[in-house]
Amino acid sequence: MGMFDTIHFEQPIACVVCQAPILSTQTKAFECILENFHLGDCIGHAEEIHIVREGLYCDACHAYDRQFVYLAVYRGILVDIALDLATAESQLRTFSFERLILWYHDLYAKRIAERRDRQQVEHFLHDMARWYEEGYDRLSQEERDQHRLFFFLHRAILENAASPIAAIRTYLDQQQTGDATAAD
């Protein structure tokens, strides 16, 4: 079957066979990196302007290719998910440049946040590797206190973890709950 990307709909689309809600579709029309996309996401290069027709699959009744959606991509951004080709074409012809600029602004903010998140994970992984490779996990509390500024952001996680896996699990749990600063 291979890899694909998933396009999530803002509103469920009713299956034409059983009326069950269809929440997304999968496509191989883009980068095929198992990415999840929503309206307004950058889905291609800035010079790309095109429409992709995708068949829908219903999880409830297993109907496939009985109905379609049209993914309108304008300047690399998914600007519309239309139920018919005419609507998708109209969206591309009349798409507002001001709206595009606002979406680029939002995408830039998203990029900055994702870069910050990646840097935080990398910093934690470096701290964890150093903690265990240099033997800080085997030091007494008094010996650790001599190096109290080391591992400043992740010290509580590392000191309370029985193993590297436990440290990773605690870090991930805190990220999931949005409580990353509580132990930092």
Distance CA 139, CA 160 (A): 13
For residue 3, name the pLDDT band (cuts at 50, 70, 90). Answer: confident
Distance CA 158, CA 45 (A): 42
CA atoms within 13 A on the CB side of 146: 5
Distance CA 167, CA 178 (A): 16
Mean pLDDT calculated for residue range 88-103: 89
Closest CA to 42 of 104, 112, 86: 104
pLDDT digits (tens, 9 = 90+) for 68-78: 999 999 988 99
pLDDT digits (tens, 9 = 90+) for 110-138: 889 999 999 999 999 999 999 999 898 88
pLDDT of residue 181: 46
Q: Which helix (H) or strand (E) holds 154?
A: none
For residue 38, pLDDT beyond 70: yes
Residue 13 φ then ψ, to 5° = -105, 130
Mean pLDDT calculated for residue range 41-69: 90
